Chain A
Amino acid sequence: QVQLVQSGAEVKKPGASVKVSCKASGYTFTSYGISWVRQAPGQGLEWMGWISAYNGNTNYAQKLQGRVTMTTDTSTSTAYMELRSLRSDDTAVYYCARVGPDLTIFGVVIIRGFDYWGQGTLVTVSS
C-alpha cells in the first residue's frame, strides 16, 4: 500500500532553516511528483510547490520563491522540503502529498489531484 511517512516535529528560531523529509513506499517513486502543502493553525491549506521525482524539475509558489527548496533522493525514495529564513508566520503543519493520478507533459507535473498524503510535520517558529 502507498505510504508517505514524514519526519518529526521541529522547533526553530526566527531566521533559521528547517528541512522536512517524506519517505515514500508502496509505489514506483520516480513515476509521480510530490507536492508540499502547509496549514497554519486554524487556517486553510496552502500549496507550496511540486517536484518531479523523475527528473528533479520543480515549481514553487511565487510567495515562497527564494526561500524554499524541494529535492528528492531516488535511492531512498525520499522527498525533502527545506524552508529558510523562517518567520513566525511559517508556523504550520507541513504535508507532503503524492501528485496523482500521474500526468507529466514535457517534464511538467500536471496536478490532477493529491492522492496520498503524509501524516504531517508540525514546524513551530518561535524565539
Chain B
Amino acid sequence: QSALTQPASVSGSPGQSITISCTGTSSDVGGYNYVSWYQQHPGKAPKLMIYDVSNRPSGVSNRFSGSKSGNTASLTISGLQAEDEADYYCSSYTSSSRGVFGTGTKVTVL
C-alpha cells in the first residue's frame, strides 16, 4: 500500500485560507468516505482534526474543514493563525481493511 500523496509544504499569511490536498486511489480515498486529518506539532502526538471526510470532533475549531472529490481529499484552514503552524497528515481506510497515511504537509504561517 503506497502512502497517499500530499504537498510537502504549504504556507500562508495570518488570516488567509490554505488548502492541503491528499491524493490516493479508488482503493482508498476514492472508495470510502473514511478520510481523516491530523495535526502534529513538533514532539507531540498527532491530533484528530477531521474524520469521515468532513466531520469535526468536538473541540476542534470550525476554521478546519474537509472535503473530497474523486480520489483526492482536501483540508482547508481558514483564518490562518500562528498556532496552526504544524505538520498535517491525511489518512484513509483501504479496500484491504487497512489504514494508510499521507506523506505529510508542513504548514508555515508567514
Which of A's residues lie within 8 Å of B, judged by CB?
35, 37, 44-47, 49-50, 59, 61-62, 95, 97, 101, 108-115, 117-120
C-alpha spacing A35/B46, complex, angstroms: 13
User: Helix, strand, loop or mixed for chain A's interface?
Assistant: strand
Query: What 17 new A-B contacts, CB under 8 Å, besides A35-B99, A113-B57, A117-B46?
Result: A37-B46, A44-B101, A44-B102, A44-B104, A45-B40, A45-B104, A47-B101, A59-B96, A101-B52, A111-B91, A111-B99, A112-B51, A113-B52, A113-B91, A114-B38, A114-B48, A115-B57
Please tell me which one of the listed residues B48, B52, B57, B99 contacts residue A50 in the complex, with CB atoms under 8 A apart. Answer: B99
Count B-side interface residues using an 8 Å CB cutoff. Answer: 26
Quick one: given A45-B101, A61-B98, are A110 and B48 in contact (CB under 8 Å)?
Answer: no
C-alpha spacing A46/B91, complex, angstroms: 10
Q: Are A114 and B3 in touch, CB under 8 angstroms?
A: no
B110: Cβ under 8 A from any A Cβ = no
Q: Are B104 and A111 in touch, CB under 8 angstroms?
A: no
Write the B39-75 contact mask toward A (1 if CB under 8 angstroms, else 0).
0100001111011100001000000000000000000
Specify the chain A residue showing the minimal Cβ separation from B101: A45
C-alpha spacing A45/B3, complex, angstroms: 10
Which of B's residues lie within 8 Å of A, judged by CB?
1, 3, 34, 36, 38, 40, 45-48, 50-52, 57, 89, 91, 93, 96-104
Residues of A within 8 A of B103 (CB): 44
Please tell me which one of the listed residues A47, A112, A118, A120 contacts residue B52 in the complex, with CB atoms under 8 A apart. Answer: A112
Quick one: given A44-B3, A44-B89, A45-B104, are A113 and B48 in contact (CB under 8 Å)?
Answer: yes
Residues of B within 8 A of A46 (CB): 101
Residues of A within 8 A of B91 (CB): 45, 47, 111, 113-114
Q: Are A45 and B97 in touch, CB under 8 angstroms?
A: no
Q: Give 26 pairs: A residue, B residue, CB < 8 Å, sorted on A.
A: A44-B102, A44-B104, A45-B40, A45-B46, A45-B89, A45-B91, A45-B101, A47-B98, A50-B99, A59-B96, A61-B1, A95-B45, A101-B51, A108-B97, A109-B97, A110-B34, A110-B93, A111-B34, A112-B34, A112-B51, A112-B52, A113-B36, A113-B91, A114-B46, A115-B48, A120-B45
